[in-house]
Structure 1
Amino acid sequence: MAGRQRVLALREQERERDRVREREAERPRRPRSRLVAINARIRDNFDPLEVYNDSAVIQRYRLPRELIRQLLGTISEDLRRATRRNFALTPQVPLLAALRFYDTGSFLQVVGDGQGLSKASVCRSVQAVTYSLLRLVPQHVHFPTRDEMRATQEDFFRSFRIPQVAGAVDGTLVPILTPHVDAHVFICRKGYAAVNCQVVCDHQGIILDVVARWPGSTHDSFVFRESSIGRLPTASRGEWRLLGDSGYPLRPHLFTPVNNPGDVHDEAYNEAHRLARCIVERTIGRWKLRFRCLHQSSGGLQFSPAKSCAVICVTAMLHNIAAKAGVALLEPEENEDDDDEEDRCEDGLPLNYAAGFHARRRVIETFF
C-alpha cells in the first residue's frame, strides 16, 4: 500500500512539472534589446585612443595616451573577462569610461552614451577600475624621502623665508550622496553631505598625503590629529614642519598664522605664511578642476561614503601622475576658495601649544 502511494505521488509530481513547462513555453519572451548589439558595434569600431589627437585625449581623459596605456597594462588583468561571451568588455573600455567619469562627474548614462555602454556597465566599470587603481595609490601618493624633502625645504625657505617646511596642509569638502545611515554626521557647514579631506602638498603642487575617511561635519584639527602624520611621535618627525591655517593647532611641526599680529615681524610672517599656504589651495583647485567629479558644480560623487573615499584617493593619485608628467590644464586655473573658512581651533593641549608658540616665535623674529 505504501509503495502504491509513493508511485502515485511521483506521477503527480511529473504531471505538475509538465504543466510548468507548458506555461513557460506559452509565456511571451522579451526580445533581447537591440541596444546591446548597437553598443557592441560602437565599441568594436571606435577606439578613442586611436581616433582623437593628443589634445583631445587629454581634454577627455585628463592623461596622455602613453600614460593611459601604462595604467591599462598595470590593471588589465583585473579588468579582463574570462570569456568573450555576451559582448564582454575589453579592459580598455572600462578604464576609459572611468577616466571619463572622473573628468566630468556627469550622469552615468551620459558617460555611457559616448563609450557605447549602458548605465549599469558604466557603474560596474567605475567600481572595478577604482578599486583596481586603489592598490597603486601608495606608490604615487607618499611622503618624500630625506633628499626630496631637503629640496622642498630649500625652495620654501628661498621663496618665503620659513625654514624646514616640507609642505602645506589644508582641508577640502567633497560632496557625496547623502547616506542612509548617520546622514546628519555627513552634513558639512555648507549644508550638504560631504567628506572632509585633508591634503598635504609640496612646493610643486604634488599631493604628498590625502586623508579621505571623515564625514563633512568633522573639524580640520580633528582630522589632522587622527591622521598618520598628526599621530607621529615628535622624535620621528625629524627636522620638518607643515604650514596650515588657523583651523589647525599650533605645534612645533605645524605652523599657523598669528591671530593678532602685534608688530611688523608678525605681519611679515603672516604675509609669508599666506603666500606659502596658497600652494595647497591652488593644488586643491587644480585637482578638482582636473577631475570635476570632486567639484560641487558637477553634483559631487553620487556614491556611498566608502566608494566616494576610494574615488577621492584614486583621483589624487592620477593628479600626481599628470602633474609629474607636466600635463597642462586646458582650463583656466582657480583657487579652492569655497572651503577656505578658517575656523578657530580649540586647542586642549597647552604644553604642545607652548612648544609650537616658542618655535614659531623664533622664526618670526627673523622677519623684518
Structure 2
Amino acid sequence: MVIDLARTDPEGFQEIQKPEYKVYTDAVIYMLHVRDLSISEDSGIEHKGKFLGLTETGTKGPGGVSTGLDHLVELGITHLHLLPSFDFRSIDETKLAENNFNWGYDPQHFNVPEGSYSTNPYEGEVRIREFKEMVAALHEKDIRVVMDVVYNHTGASGDSDFSKIVPGYYYRMNEDGSFSNGSGTGNETASERSMMRKYIVDSVVYWATEYKVDGFRFDLMALHDIETMKAVREALNEVDPTILIYGEGWTGGDSPLPDKEKALKRNTWRMEGIAAFSDDIRDGIKGHVFTDEDRGFVNGGEALEESIKFGVVASIDHPGVNYQNVKYSKGFWAKEPSQTITYRNCARKPIPSLPGFSRGMNGACVAKHIAV
C-alpha cells in the first residue's frame, strides 16, 4: 500500500517531548510482551492485547490493583522494552478470534508494526497510527520505548522477500548451498554485506524518526558484525545520542562469521555506546538458565562470589575482581558500566521458581534471601 505517513500521526505527535534521560546507567528497563500486558479478562483494559492497551489509564484489576500503563508508571521504570512488535510470520492476522500467540521472533516485515496488535489489521494505516499512539502515551508518562529487533534471521528462508530479491545475497550460506543456521531457526542474515548492513541501519533510523522509538535491543546480536553495529550507533547518534542500543552477545548456533568480527559479549569493549547482557551475574546469582542442577549463589551454588563481584562492577576491568574465578568471563569485556545490562530477573527462570526456593515465597522473602 501507499500511504502518507504524516496522516498517521496522532494529534500533537511531533510536538511531544521525549522523556528526559542523560545517564545510561540510570536506565531501568522493563521487558514486556504487548499482548500479555492486557489480555487477561480481569485486566480492566478495553483494548486487550493491542497497542492501544498501553494507552489506557485508570484501569484496575482484582482488588483495585493498577493495571496496564498505570502499573508501569508505579514501577518507576525509565524504559519499556517491547518484545518484537514489527510484523512477524507466525500469527494469521485474519484469524484473530482464535487463541493465537507468539513471542514474535520470526520476522516477516521488519519495518511494519504487527497487525494483530492493532484494532484493524485490514487497514494498514491503523497499525501505524496505533503504534504511534502507544509511543505517545508512554512518552507522556516519562517512559521511553525500546524495540526488540530481530535482524539476525527471517521467519522464512528460501521463500523470504530477501531470497526473492537477490537469492543467496542477504544470508550466509554453507558451501553446499544450504542456509547457515547461526540463529538456530533455519537461517542467518549476512550483516557484513553492504546492502544488508544498509538495510539494518536504515530500518532502525526509520523506527527512531517516524515512530520516535528510543532504543533497540538486538536479538542474537553476535550474529551481526562489529562494523554493522558501529554503523547503527553512528546513524542513531545523528538522530538522538541518548537512544539505547544493547543486545545478546551470543549466537544461537555455529556461524561462518569469524569470532573476531562478531558483536560477541567479549567484543563489547570495541563497540562504544553499545551494551550487552551479562549472563555472568545472571547465572552467578540464580544458576544456569536451562539447567536446574547448575545452581546460583542464592540457591546453594558454590564458588560464585567472583562472578557476583564481576557483575557488581559491571564487567569492567577492576582490581577487586579475581577474573580467573569468574564462572564464564575470564577477563573484562566492557569499557564502561553503561555497556553492561544487568539482569534482575529472567523470563525463562524467575528467582522464586529456582531449586532451593519454597513455592509461594514472596518478593520480600526473595530479597531477604538474596541479601543473606
Q: TM-score, normalised by structure 1?
A: 0.24
Q: Which has the higher contact order (CA 8 A, sep 6+)?
A: 1
Larger helix percent: 1
Pick the structure with greater CA Rg.
Answer: 1
Q: TM-score, normalised by structure 2?
A: 0.24
